[in-house]
Each structure stands twice: as structure tokens, then as C-alpha cells.
Structure 1
Amino acid sequence: MENSRNIILVVVLSLALLLGWEAAMNYLYPQPDEPPVTAEASMAPVDGAEVEHSRTGGLTDPAAVAKEVADLETALASPARVQIDSPKIAGSINLTGAVIDDVVLKDYAETTDKDSGPVRLFSPRGTPAQHFAQYGFLVNGQKVSDDAVWSADGDQLAVGTPVTLTYDAGNGLELQQRYSIDENYMITVEQSIANRSAVPSVVQPYGLVSRTSDTASADFFIAHSGPIGVFGDGANYDYDYDDLDDDGPASPQGRAEWLGFTDIYWLSALIPQDGAAPDATFRALGGKTYRADMIYDPVTVPAGRKYTTTSRLYAGAKDSTILDAYEDAGLQQFGLAIDWGWFRWFEKPLLWLLKTIHGLVGNFGVAIIGLTIIVRGLMFPIAQKGFASMAAMKAIQPRMKELQEKHKDDRVKQQQEMQKLFKEEKVNPLSGCLPMLLQIPIFFALYKVLYLAIEMRHRNFLWIDDLSAPDPATILNLFGLLPFTPPSFLAIGILAVLLGVTMWLTFRLNPSAMDPVQQQVFAIMPWVLMFIMAPFAAGLLLYWVTSNILTLAQQKYLYSKHPQLRAAAEKEKADKAAAAEAAKAKS
């Protein structure tokens, strides 16, 4: 009766977990990830409507997507623009206000469709996806107007071809901004003021990044989305967009090494002049728009003199190799634009190993399988030792039962005698758990690598278009043949089913003796985990399925090396079955 109640409790708790999982997954993995654009969509988004953020960011409302396309066509048609063309980015600088408001990333497609255009990072002010950077001046306490039209000495900014923008501020003051770009995502801006008047002038250069939160990626506990920067000696992930709405402007303590906004894969960041300490602030501007700004201290420029500051702007992908290269060149903790967390010492080598294997095999799915084989191979000696220990435990089990019966009224003495027995027989009862414990940090590290590393974005394997996203082939839509997406609670894909089956098989081979309640728990657990893990990255499930298959092969091999362990496990199962039949016959 007691066992029946426990079994019912296990089933009820499992059902409660499954039913609650839909709400949790909708929060942690908002859908859709890549919204369709329909011709029938309204051209105007609903003001004040709650925006659904996708896992990777971007507009999710079809009306907003359609309006963005139309607004871009109008805004970018202006001839008053300097084109940007470098190996990794393209776009333009708006000469009205000297605003960098048009940036696309050449190396990254917006979707997995073959005809997809590149990812758009910057869009002009006023568009649904507005996101831009601007460098400018306060002259004698007055900001140079955003309507000021600057002149350019060239029509294209490229590597090795800088462009200088000039504006006559009147009263003998000439402002210049010289833009240069490297082969990656870094734009350098030299801001100068030449005072040709007869009196001194006070100048404050500034830089800002402004954006809407409507395009932000979902803020997850392992993937920060929102304001970011390094202040003093540490990276700051403390603020999100709601904090700025609720609490007002935020100015983190410590000198700003860099600051801006991050999504899961993209970064726009201001980098002040080396050695300078400008005021740095994050603020909400209303209407779901936000700004990160830095403003230098006022400087008096004497008559006939010129003053220059040099700042930088990073507008691009969070490629760990590129970020680390800038950090190695002196940009403090720039690699922490990716929120690796406390275990980055383990995650980054894991990513390096994945990339190295990929370089050999040419596919990240195969690379994940190769990584799993390497990890399990390294842990095989530990697993072998664990099985040997379990075999020894089986051999001394009769003596253990004798000690338990002999000292059943003295638990302390019982434990002392047990420890003495383990020591005499050189048995470690915990050694069988060690392989599983060692896999936990590996599993978590791979989870973060698959979720955070842009190297995994849009990487395909067999039927999977993106290993960093959930398995698209779900049972309810006949593995993609039917034109609809099931809710995450029912979106059980091929890999999730394989996970459940392989885990069930590994539990079936478990040599440990279990009471009926434990047996029921282990019988249910694989199918509960199948539902829980289905919305996770397909690459993570591929790792786990491969690991389970290797575990099955490993257990078969080790059983062949320790036949007494297999025989003892089968005898126990037979004894338990006979006891259960006898109890049933009596009732």
C-alpha cells in the first residue's frame, strides 16, 4: 500500500512538472524565432502592445517587419550618405547628424533560408528596428544639432580608406570627425575641433548608441540581453531594459572601459579614448528606446588651437576569437561581452575543441559526436573503475546485510563496521557515481557553448538547420511535413524521442538494486526528461543521445569484463519478481 501511494505521488509530480513546463518554456524560449512576413499584415504596429522577444532577437510582429522594410527603403534612398564597405560589414553613415545608422553583417544570414539577406544590426532613427550610433560635440554647452548636415571628403568608408566629415559650427569653429574601419567590426572615430576664432571655446566630445528593445533577444539566465559594459575591474550584466524604465538612468561605478547593448549574438559598444574617464550612463528615453552614452570632460580650446579625441565603436557579431583578439590588444575584458559565466575556463576550451574537430570533419553535428566520443573516452578508465567497484560491492553484499542485521539497533556502530568492511575490501561505494558527476560540468558547459557561441548559429546536421535551436522535426507536425508548429509542450522531436529511448535503455542496464518505488521513478524519468529537454538546443540533445549510446556500449563491454555483476543484477531482479508474485498470490 505504501509503495502504491509513493508511485501515485511520483506520477502526480511528474504530470505537474510536465503541465508547468509549457509556461516555463514560453518564458525561456519565446516563439516564433523567425516570424513570417505576410502581405496581409497591417503596416502599423499596435502602440503599447507587449512585444514577444525571440530567442535570438529581431522584430517578431509581422506588421513591424513590413513597416521596417518600407521605412528602410525610404530612409536609405537619401543621397546624403557615405557608404560603408568592409570585409565584414556594409551600410552607410547619414550625413544629417553624422549618424551611423545603417549596418548589416555580411557573414551572417538573417534566417536559414537560402535567399535570406544579411543580419541588420543598425537601422535609422524612427524605424521599428531603430538602432544607431552617433558621435558629436557640445560646444560652449550647446549640442550641435542633429539636423546639421556634414560634408564628406569621400563617398565610401573602407579598410585603408578613411572618411572625414566636416561641419562649420560658426564663429570660427570647425568640427571634424575622421572615420576609419578595420577588417572586422571596429570603427575608429577621431573627433576634432579647430578654433580659428579670437576667443577660447569649451568643447565636450560625446558618443552614444541608441536602440529599441523591441528587437532585443530574450533575456535568459545564461544569456544576458540589454545594457552591458566593463566598469573598473569587472564586466557588468546587472541592468536590463526594465531596470532603466523603473529606476531611471544608471551609471555603474568605476572607469568605463567600454559600454553598450548586447543581444545573444550581437554587440554595439562605445570604447572611450585610452586613459580617458568620460561620464558613462545607460538611460531609458521612453517608447521602448534606450541609450548608452559617454561624454568627455569639458576642455577649453584656446584661440588658434585644435583639440582631438579618439574613440571607437564596435558594431558586429560576438565572435569569441575576434573579441579575444581585441582584448589581447589591450581592450580590457572585451571577451566578456559573451557572458560565459564562472566556468568560462572550461567552456572556451570546449568551444576550441569543437571548432578544431569541425575543421577536420566539416560539420558541427559530426563535431559534437566526435567531442562526445573524446569526452567519454577520457572518462572510460574512471567508468571501468566504477564498474569494478560495483562488482566488488555485489560480492560483499551478503556481508553487508549481515552487518546491517547485526547492528540494526546501533546505527553508528553499523556505519563504522561498514566503513571498516569497505576499507578491508578496498571498495568505494561512491565510485560508481563519479562518471555521472564528472559529466555534469561538461554538460552545462556544452549547453552554454551551444546557446551562446555564434559559431554554432545556423549550423546544420542532417534534417536540422540550426544546432543552436530546438529540433524542428516534431512528431505532431509529422516531422515538418505539416505546415504548423506545435506548442513547446508537445514539440517532441526526433532527438528528444531518441533521448528518452536511449536513457530508458541505460536505466534498464543499471546494475544497482532498486526498490519498487525507485524502479517506477526510473521507469518514468526518461519520458519526463524527453518532454523537458525537447525545447533545448538540438546540438545539446545530439550530445546526450550520443553519450547514452556510448554508455550502452560501455556497459555491455564492462559487463563482459565483470560477469558476476551481471549475474548478480539478474538474480536480484528474478528474486524481486518472485517475491512480488508471492505477495500477489497471498493477497
Structure 2
Amino acid sequence: MKDDTRNFILFAVLAAIILLGGNFLSARYFPRANPPATKIVAGNAKVSDTPTGPATAGPAATGTAAVRDLAIVRAETPRVAIRTADLQGSINLKGARIDDLTLTKYKETVDKNSPPIRLLSPRGTKNAYFGGFGWSGDGVTVPDADTLFTASGAELAPGKPVTLSWANGKGQVFALTFAVDDRYMFTVRQTVSNAGPAPIALRPYALVSRAGVGTEPDTWTNHIGPIGVFDKGATYDITFDNLNGKEPGFFARLWGSNSKPGANMYDATGGWLGFGDKYFLAAVIPDRAAPVRSGFRAANGDAYQGDFTLAPRVVAPGKALVSTAKFFAGAKETNTLDRYEDRLGIPNFGKAIDWGWFEVVEKPIFKYLDWLFRNIGNFGVAIILLTVTIRTLIFPIAQRQFASMAAMKAIQPKMKAIQEKYKDDKLRQQQEVMALYKTEKVNPLAGCLPTLLQIPIMYSLYKVLLLTIEMRHQPFIGWIQDLSAPDPAHILNLFGLLPFAVPAFLAIGVMPVLLGVSMYFQFKLNPAPMDEAQKQVFAIMPWMLMFVMAPFAVGLQVYWITSNLWTVAQQRLLYARHPALKEPAVKT
């Protein structure tokens, strides 16, 4: 009785820690679900007024400086329009900056009249974010942020490049030729013609600048912020805190972060660098064979900049200096990033998505899920079919696990006899137990190994569903209009009929309840526990986990529900083959 009470108290403490700390840990160290795309008001689904993109990504461009209206700032300078199937915006002729860009394919909300996601904005506006190209040099007048260029055309479009030019009046002409493809990649050719009497030395550069750190958290499993490739693989160590001169946190040091304040500039060949949000990226990309000095820095106020500079080049009289760079501004679509990596030779560009350790598992899962969605048209159904596929593929593993458990249970009486016989000789006891395993051809680790093999598969699916933009704003059924957000139909306020907001830790929707029910039936089919405390643990656990998992994206909840129901069906089949497992263990 005393052991039962102790076990129950330990469980109660553990349950409280999981229930109260689960949300904190998931928000801090795991990718966060998107804000709800819809809300339930008086029993009806309505579009939430909370955007889910860079439009709410940060504060003003220069700290305490006044923030001005975007339309006013945009109208103050002449511009070249940008028009593609996926992009719309303009190039600012003052400073030759790409500082006005929206992604027409992605909306702020699920409302059909919602404005598109704004990725780039001019300096002086809220959430200023832009890319720029230029030159630096000694003894030569170069264009700067206030230089007004002349454009060769009024519109930049695929197959329709535009050249911006400026002469310094001392014999040098500077030109930037912009081209754009049918997705998100700009190619910029920087040319300097020297008609002066003497040679000049110049360093071409490119930069991406943004104001603020954004609202999306940088977590252990999903890096948000400065990202780049400097000769080696993608660097996730550099953070906004690091650029502000702060030391890496405890967990960054624990996992071997090399990021140090002030040590964020690198000498490299090629590569790329920029700023990544959960779903969007802006990055500058030098020629892959060009030696560059590249890295990140914090500017005045709350502005941050990533840039690269080429080595100085001497331009003799009558000669020209030509260099080419690229600028990516768009969505982190898995197939698009991989295509740029393969076709343009941009190293590790696909790692703009923080796949982590299990990329080798995550990528095939995503490819299959994407194929299902393109053929079915409903992302929720695609998740269900993906789950069934995975559970079916690992069924032989589960079957081996059940067989091992059955074999172990069958030899329990013999093991207890050995333990009783040699209770005063532990070494002999271990030898006899190992001999019993060999005689009965039982491997005690066989029941654990299948579970360990499933961990990377399940974790990989978790990251695929939360990190890939392909699930963002994808509807499923009825009130669920965004599988990347939590269930908006909260039961405790009667689906919006009662006029009060449900606290986050009590925000239980229909899908979390279904998840709890599915876990209840799964736990019911587990082997019967030995004592009353364990029975109470198994009785409470599904409902406790229901609260813990409620803040997660509905897409993940669809996966868990399907997985639980499929597991119940598999367990019924396996118990039919191994009926001894359903018998309660004998308490000694």
C-alpha cells in the first residue's frame, strides 16, 4: 500500500510538471504553431485579424525614429516596377535598392480578400527590409544610399531586364543590370566603366538589411534570424542577441555553439547569407567562385545587416569591372530551394530550412507528403494517408516488438525462479539469466530497439509539418482553415457562444479532445498494469496529454489521432496473435 501511494504521488508531481511546463518548453525549444487563422464567434468560424507573416515581423527601422506610412515613403522616389507570377513590388532608383516586395501567392490571413505577405519595405517604414548593391573604394566617387540612378525601362519582369546607371562626372559610369526569374531569384550584374585618366580600385558589395528581430522565436530545433553558408555547411549559430554583443545562452553553449560577440565576419569563397524567418528568406549570394569577406553586423538602433564584399580590383583607364551576384527574396519552399541549389550551384541553399539532424529522413517524408497533396488536393487527407503509410511500413517492427514482449512474458516464471534461487549470488544470477535468454532464444533488447527506431521517424514528421510552408493556411474540414495553427473551436466557451476568451493552457478544441479519446483507447489496449497506482496513471495520462498537445498545430493532431487509431487496430491484431500479453502481470 505504501509503494502504491508513493508511486501515485510521484506520478502526480510528474503530471503537474508536464502539464504546466509543457507549453513553456515547447514554445522555447520546439517550433511553434502559427497563430490561429480563424476564430469561433457565436458558433461560427470567422477569419482571425492576426496576420501570420513578416507584416508583423518587427519594430521600426531606427529605434526611436519616427515611422512613416509605406505609401508616402514609396511615392517619394522614382521606381521601377517588379512584376512576376509570384512577386510584385518595385526597385527604388534612389540607392538602387530592392525595398518594396510582396509575395502574391501568400496571404496574411485565410480571408480571400486578405492582402499578400509583404516581405520587403523601404527604410523609414515599419519593418524596413531591403537588399542593396554597390561599390566602395578610395580616391573615387562611388554611388551611395542617396544616389539617384537612371533606369533603362519602367518594369522588371522575367525575360525583361532593367539597367540602372549613374555617372560620377569624373570619368566613371556605374551600372546595375537587374534580371528576375519566374520565382524569387534576382540576378544583378554590377559594371563599372573607367573612362578617366588614371586607374581606380573598387570593391563590389551586396547587402541585405532589416529592422528588428521579429516576433518568431529562435528555438533549439528551428533557427530564426541570421543564416549563411561560409565555405562549410549552413551556420545556425549566429543570433540577433549575438549581433547585439550578448554571449550565447546556456543551451547554445551546451550544444557546442561557436558564435561569439563580434566574431561574425568570415573569409570564404562563394556561399550566401541573409535573414530567415519561419517561412520566408531574404539573402544575397555572391558568385560561387568569388573570394569574399562576408558576415553580419548590428547597425544603429535595432537594424541588422548581412553583407559580402569582394576583394579590391584595379580598373585601368578604358577598362571595365564586371561582377555578378544574386538576391533571393521569397518563400522557403522546399522544392524551390532545392532547385536553386542544384541548378545554380548555390551551396546548401536547401538548408535555409533548419531540417536538423534527421534531414535524411525528413526530406523523403516531405517529398511523399507533397506528392500526396498534389494528387489529392486536401492537405489533411494527405497527412492521414502519410500516417497510414508510415505506420504500415513500421508494422513489422511493431510485430517484432510484440513477439519479443510475449516471449519475455512467457519466461517470467523461470526468471523469477532463478532470481529466488540465486538471490544471494548476483553474479551467478546474471549468468543463469543470460543462459536462459540463450536457451529460449530471447533478446531482451528486441522490445526496446523498435521503439528507438521509430523516434527519428516520428520526430522528422513533426518537423516537416511545422517547418514547411506548404502546410500554411491549408484547410482540412469545416472550421479548420489552417492546419499549421491550433484548433480554434474551444469547448470551454461553448465554441464562442460564451463571450470570454479561454486561457491558453485551457484552450481545448474538438481535435485535442478526439486526440485524448484516441489515446484513451490506445492505453486501454496496453498490457494490464500490476498495481492500482499504475492503473490510475494510465487512466489519467491520455487526458493530461490532451492538454499538453492542444497548442500544437492541427496538422500534427491529425497525425497523432490517425496514428493512435491505426495503432489500436494493429494492437488488436497483435493481441490476437499473442493473447498472453493481455493477461495482468502477477504481482509478487
Say whether the fold is shared (TM-score over 0.5).
Answer: yes
Q: So what's the TM-score if we normalise by structure 1? A: 0.87
Instruction: Find the aligned partners of 2:35 and 2:100 in 1 and give their Cα distance.
Output: 23
Structure 2 vs 1, CA of residues 55 and 496 (structure 1 numbering), >3 Å: closer, same or farther?
A: same
Instruction: Find the aligned partners of 1:121 and 1:543 in 2 and give their Cα distance.
Output: 31
SS where residue 343 of structure 1 aligns? helix
Deviation at 1:62, TM superposition (A): 11
Structure 2 vs 1, CA of residues 23 and 272 (structure 1 numbering), >3 Å: closer, same or farther?
A: same
Whether 2:12 is the aligned partner of 1:11: answer yes
Partner of 2:212: 213
Deviation at 1:506, TM superposition (A): 1.7
Partner of 2:190: 191
Overall identity of the aligned pairs, in %: 50
Counterpart residue identity of residue 8, structure 1 = I
Instruction: Find the aligned partners of 2:570 and 2:36 in 1 and give their Cα distance.
Output: 41
Which of 454, 463, 469 is 1:454 aligned to?
A: 469
Deviation at 1:446, TM superposition (A): 0.7
Within 5 Å, give how 1:434-583 maps onto structure 2. Answer: 434-462=449-477, 463-480=479-496, 485-511=501-527, 513-566=529-582, 568-569=583-584, 572=585
Within 5 Å, give how 1:157-168 maps onto structure 2. Answer: 157-168=156-167
Whether 2:292 is the aligned partner of 1:278: answer yes
SS where residue 416 of structure 1 aligns? helix
Q: Which has the higher contact order (CA 8 A, sep 6+)?
A: 2
The count of residues paired between Structure 1 and Structure 2 equals: 554
Note if contact 2:137-2:202 (Cα within 8 Å) is conserved in structure 1.
yes
Which of 304, 307, 320 is 1:290 aligned to?
A: 304
Counterpart residue identity of residue 504, structure 2 = S
Note if contact 2:59-2:126 (Cα within 8 Å) is conserved in structure 1.
no
Deviation at 1:54, TM superposition (A): 9.6
Note if contact 2:151-2:164 (Cα within 8 Å) is conserved in structure 1.
yes
SS where residue 357 of structure 2 aligns? coil
Deviation at 1:132, TM superposition (A): 0.3
Within 5 Å, give how 1:116-155 maps onto structure 2. Answer: 116-140=114-138, 143-155=142-154
Q: Report the structure, 1 or 2, having the larger helix content.
A: 1
Partner of 2:315: 301
Which of 299, 324, 331 is 2:338 aligned to?
A: 324
Instruction: Find the aligned partners of 1:493 and 1:201 in 2 and give their Cα distance.
Output: 67
Whether 2:228 is the aligned partner of 1:226: answer no
For residues 217-245 of structure 1, give each alpha carbon's deviation from its aligned partner in whole angstroms, at most 9, with x where no partner exists: 32111211111110112211111111101
Instruction: Find the aligned partners of 2:500 and 2:315 in 1 and give their Cα distance.
Output: 65
Instruction: Find the aligned partners of 1:59 and 1:483 in 2 and give their Cα distance.
Output: 27
Counterpart residue identity of residue 415, structure 2 = M
Instruction: Find the aligned partners of 2:394 and 2:34 in 1 and give their Cα distance.
Output: 39
For residues 417-474 of structure 1, give each alpha carbon's deviation from its aligned partner in whole angstroms, at most 9, with x where no partner exists: 2232233223334434444333211111011111211112112211322222222222
Note if contact 1:318-1:338 (Cα within 8 Å) is conserved in structure 2.
yes
For residues 327-376 of structure 1, give each alpha carbon's deviation from its aligned partner in whole angstroms, at most 9, with x where no partner exists: 11211111111111121011000001111222232211111111111111
Note if contact 2:79-2:91 (Cα within 8 Å) is conserved in structure 1.
yes
Give unpaired runs (5+ residues) of structure 2. 39-49, 246-260
Instruction: Find the aligned partners of 2:468 and 2:297 in 1 and give their Cα distance.
Output: 28
Deviation at 1:25, TM superposition (A): 5.3
Note if contact 1:257-1:271 (Cα within 8 Å) is conserved in structure 2.
yes
Instruction: Find the aligned partners of 1:315 and 1:511 in 2 and give their Cα distance.
Output: 54
Deviation at 1:256, TM superposition (A): 4.6
Note if contact 2:36-2:488 (Cα within 8 Å) is conserved in structure 1.
no
Instruction: Find the aligned partners of 1:178 and 1:60 in 2 and give their Cα distance.
Output: 30
Partner of 1:59: 56
Instruction: Find the aligned partners of 1:523 and 1:420 in 2 and give their Cα distance.
Output: 38
Whether 2:48 is the aligned partner of 1:33: answer no
SS where residue 372 of structure 1 aligns? helix
Counterpart residue identity of residue 204, structure 1 = R
Structure 2 vs 1, CA of residues 103 and 249 (structure 1 numbering), >3 Å: closer, same or farther?
A: farther
Instruction: Find the aligned partners of 1:228 and 1:63 in 2 and give their Cα distance.
Output: 22
Instruction: Find the aligned partners of 2:490 and 2:153 in 1 and give their Cα distance.
Output: 53
Structure 2 vs 1, CA of residues 17 and 81 (structure 1 numbering), >3 Å: closer, same or farther?
A: same
Counterpart residue identity of residue 518, structure 2 = T
Structure 2 vs 1, CA of residues 75 and 105 (structure 1 numbering), >3 Å: closer, same or farther?
A: same
Instruction: Find the aligned partners of 1:196 and 1:345 in 2 and give their Cα distance.
Output: 54
Partner of 1:235: 234
Instruction: Find the aligned partners of 2:33 and 2:560 in 1 and give their Cα distance.
Output: 24
Whether 2:405 is the aligned partner of 1:398: answer no
Structure 2 vs 1, CA of residues 313 and 223 (structure 1 numbering), >3 Å: closer, same or farther?
A: same
Counterpart residue identity of residue 264, structure 2 = A
Deviation at 1:27, TM superposition (A): 4.5
Counterpart residue identity of residue 17, structure 1 = I
**Mean Cα deviation higher: 376-385 or 205-214:** 376-385
Structure 2 vs 1, CA of residues 35 and 63 (structure 1 numbering), >3 Å: closer, same or farther?
A: farther
SS where residue 71 of structure 2 aligns? helix
Note if contact 2:55-2:119 (Cα within 8 Å) is conserved in structure 1.
no
SS where residue 192 of structure 2 aligns? strand
Structure 2 vs 1, CA of residues 521 and 413 (structure 1 numbering), >3 Å: closer, same or farther?
A: farther
Note if contact 1:54-1:217 (Cα within 8 Å) is conserved in structure 2.
no
Whether 2:366 is the aligned partner of 1:351: answer yes
Give unpaired runs (5+ residues) of structure 1. 37-52, 580-587
**Mean Cα deviation higher: 198-207 or 238-247:** 198-207
Note if contact 1:228-1:260 (Cα within 8 Å) is conserved in structure 2.
yes
SS where residue 167 of structure 1 aligns? strand
Whether 2:282 is the aligned partner of 1:268: answer yes
**Mean Cα deviation higher: 103-112 or 531-540:** 531-540
Deviation at 1:61, TM superposition (A): 8.3
Counterpart residue identity of residue 475, structure 2 = N
Q: So what's the TM-score if we normalise by structure 2? A: 0.87
Structure 2 vs 1, CA of residues 469 and 363 (structure 1 numbering), >3 Å: closer, same or farther?
A: same
Instruction: Find the aligned partners of 1:482 and 1:76 in 2 and give their Cα distance.
Output: 45
Note if contact 2:266-2:293 (Cα within 8 Å) is conserved in structure 1.
no
Task: Report the aligned-residue RMSD.
Answer: 2.8
Note if contact 1:121-1:316 (Cα within 8 Å) is conserved in structure 2.
yes
